[in-house]
């Protein structure tokens, strides 16, 4: 023993500082130490490259099989956009429409998304502008981190508070199918669109015999047209903090251009197999202005596959990784052959 422990009696030093004499603490457990050689290293690089390239190709082919149609209704609803810029019109409705044609039907489950462009949600103060305790139903009056959207000038607390909730997307979008001379509204599902953990863990309503009394003494955010307990007047279970449109909006995006799930097509009647080919119309109640920040708004109809949606990012990432691993394998092979030739030459 060295250092200070060398001046201590051997028994005392070991009893206080030495680990137990076991295989684990004395690092005597059996272990496998790989013996790296050229063949092992090259096989590792080439197998990794082949695996990543195969997965990447499968992911890209899968993403390309997604059927998707995107409609930009920013210009088609320009009159409503100007109407909404006047704050005195906040309580008046403005409607517009966008027509499109499906040359081929979209079969299977069809998802409707709304998309926003040039809308930044990744600012630190914006992302922190909410109260998790309030959203979990602990106290409707909690306004931690919510300033300046915490209370009104008269002291009335906002529910929900914060900049994220106040900026919630609130356009109402309906889809109609023009069949011959009749117009059929496509049935859309409002619920079942968010994660189970969000609706049952992260977001909970205050406990009370009804929602209106649970939110008594509070007021809606300034940009909202309805109080939080009337977000869905057709389904009482989809109101308050557990409203699925609200939950999905509260999951902020990392990029300025993003899409959020809005509705799912109910597969009943004429739409049992999906959306048939034909003429369609989006009827939009325009409430969310975007012209002040030079934004754009879209409606997207899309299907999904086993790998997800139409994004090719993961497939491209696998292809880049596989290509890099394969290229590295060829480089190592070339270096090895060159050095082996030099070694053979000097031995001669």
Do residues 305 and 66 lie in contact, with contact meaning Cβ atoms separated by under 8 Å?
A: yes
- Report the Cα–Cα distance between both ends of the chain, in Å, rounded: 52
Q: Are residues 152 and 241 in the same domain?
A: yes
- Under DSSP, the state recorded for 187 is P
Q: Coil, helix or strand for 273?
A: coil
Nearest CA to 192 among 224, 159, 235, 228?
A: 235
92 found inside a domain? yes
20 found inside a domain? no
Distance of CA 21 to the CA centre of its chain: 52
Q: Are residues 142 and 256 in the same domain?
A: yes
109 found inside a domain? yes
Q: Are residues 153 and 105 in the same domain?
A: yes
33 found inside a domain? no
Nearest CA to 260 among 94, 64, 119, 127?
A: 119
The tally of domains found in the chain comes to 2
Query: Per residue in 275-320, pLDDT tens?
Result: 999 999 999 999 998 988 889 999 999 999 888 888 899 999 999 9
Q: How far apart are CA 194 and CA 198, in angstroms?
A: 7
Exposure of 28 by Cβ count < 10 A (0-12 exposed, 13-18 middle, 19+ buried)? exposed
Predicted local distance difference test score (pLDDT) of residue 14 = 59
Do residues 240 and 140 lie in contact, with contact meaning Cβ atoms separated by under 8 Å?
A: no
Q: Are residues 76 and 50 in the same domain?
A: no
Q: Is the dihedral of CA 195, 215, 150, 294 positive or negative?
A: positive
Predicted local distance difference test score (pLDDT) of residue 273 = 93
Range of the domain at 286: 67-303
Quickly count helices (H) and strands (E) in the chain: 10, 11
26 found inside a domain? no
What's the half-sphere exposure (Cβ side, CA atoms, 13 Å) at 10?
Answer: 1
Nearest CA to 160 among 254, 246, 289, 252?
A: 246
Which segments of the chain have a pLDDT < 70? 1-16, 140, 343-348
Q: Are residues 93 and 224 in the same domain?
A: yes
Nearest CA to 236 among 263, 252, 214, 251?
A: 214
Nearest CA to 268 among 340, 338, 177?
A: 177
CB-based contacts of 336, cutoff 8 Å, min separation 6: 38, 42
Q: Are residues 80 and 53 in the same domain?
A: no
Q: Are residues 187 and 105 in the same domain?
A: yes
**CA-to-CA dists, residue 329 to 34, 41, 45, 241, angstroms:** 19, 8, 5, 54
Give all strands (DSSP E) within the chain, no chain letters: 68-72, 95-102, 106-107, 111-117, 172-179, 182-185, 188-189, 258-265, 274-275, 278-285, 296-302
- Under DSSP, the state recorded for 277 is S
Predicted local distance difference test score (pLDDT) of residue 1 = 43
Q: Are residues 76 and 47 in the same domain?
A: no
Query: Per residue in 101-130, pLDDT tens?
Result: 999 999 999 999 999 999 999 999 999 999
Q: Are residues 101 and 209 in the same domain?
A: yes
Place of tokens 């119309």: 281
Do residues 235 and 244 lie in contact, with contact meaning Cβ atoms separated by under 8 Å?
A: no
11 found inside a domain? no
Predicted local distance difference test score (pLDDT) of residue 4 = 45
Q: Are residues 105 and 249 in the same domain?
A: yes
Query: Which pair of tokens denotes residue 99?
Result: 């027509």
219 found inside a domain? yes
Predicted local distance difference test score (pLDDT) of residue 10 = 52
Predicted local distance difference test score (pLDDT) of residue 267 = 94
Nearest CA to 96 among 281, 261, 231, 223?
A: 281
Q: Are residues 133 and 208 in the same domain?
A: yes
Q: Are residues 206 and 298 in the same domain?
A: yes
134 found inside a domain? yes
CB-based contacts of 321, cutoff 8 Å, min separation 6: 52, 56
């Amino acid at each position: 023993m060295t250092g200070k422990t060398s001046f201590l009696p051997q028994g005392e030093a070991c009893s206080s500082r030495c680990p137990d004499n076991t295989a684990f603490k004395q690092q005597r457990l059996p272990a496998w130490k790989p013996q790296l050689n050229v063949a092992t290293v090259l096989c590792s690089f080439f197998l990794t490259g082949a695996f990543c390239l195969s997965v990447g190709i499968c992911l890209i082919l899968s993403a390309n099989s997604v059927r998707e149609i995107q409609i930009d209704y920013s210009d088609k609803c320009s009159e409503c956009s100007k109407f909404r810029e006047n704050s005195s019109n906040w309580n008046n409705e403005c409607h517009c429409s966008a027509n499109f044609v499906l040359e081929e039907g979209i079969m299977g489950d069809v998802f409707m998304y709304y998309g926003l462009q040039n809308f930044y949600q990744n600012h630190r103060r914006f992302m922190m502008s909410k109260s998790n305790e309030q959203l979990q139903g602990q106290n409707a009056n909690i306004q931690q981190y919510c300033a300046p959207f915490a209370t009104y000038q008269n002291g009335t607390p906002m529910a929900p508070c914060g900049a994220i909730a106040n900026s919630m997307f609130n356009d109402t979008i309906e889809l109609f199918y023009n069949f011959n001379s009749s117009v059929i509204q496509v049935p859309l599902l409002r619920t079942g669109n968010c994660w189970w953990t969000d609706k049952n863990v992260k977001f909970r309503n205050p406990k009370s015999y009804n929602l209106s009394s649970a939110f008594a003494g509070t007021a809606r955010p300034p940009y909202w047209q309805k109080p939080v307990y009337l977000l869905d007047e057709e389904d009482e279970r989809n109101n308050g903090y557990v409203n699925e449109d609200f939950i999905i909006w509260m999951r902020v995006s990392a990029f300025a251009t993003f899409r959020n799930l809005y509705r799912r097509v109910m597969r009943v009647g004429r739409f049992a197999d999906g959306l048939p080919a034909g003429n369609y119309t989006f009827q939009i109640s325009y409430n969310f202005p975007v012209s002040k920040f030079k934004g754009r708004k879209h409606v997207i109809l899309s299907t999904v596959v086993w790998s997800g949606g139409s994004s090719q990012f993961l497939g491209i990432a696998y292809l880049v990784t596989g290509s890099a691993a394969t290229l590295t394998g060829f480089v190592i092979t070339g270096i090895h052959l060159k050095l082996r030739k030099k070694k053979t030459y000097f031995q001669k």
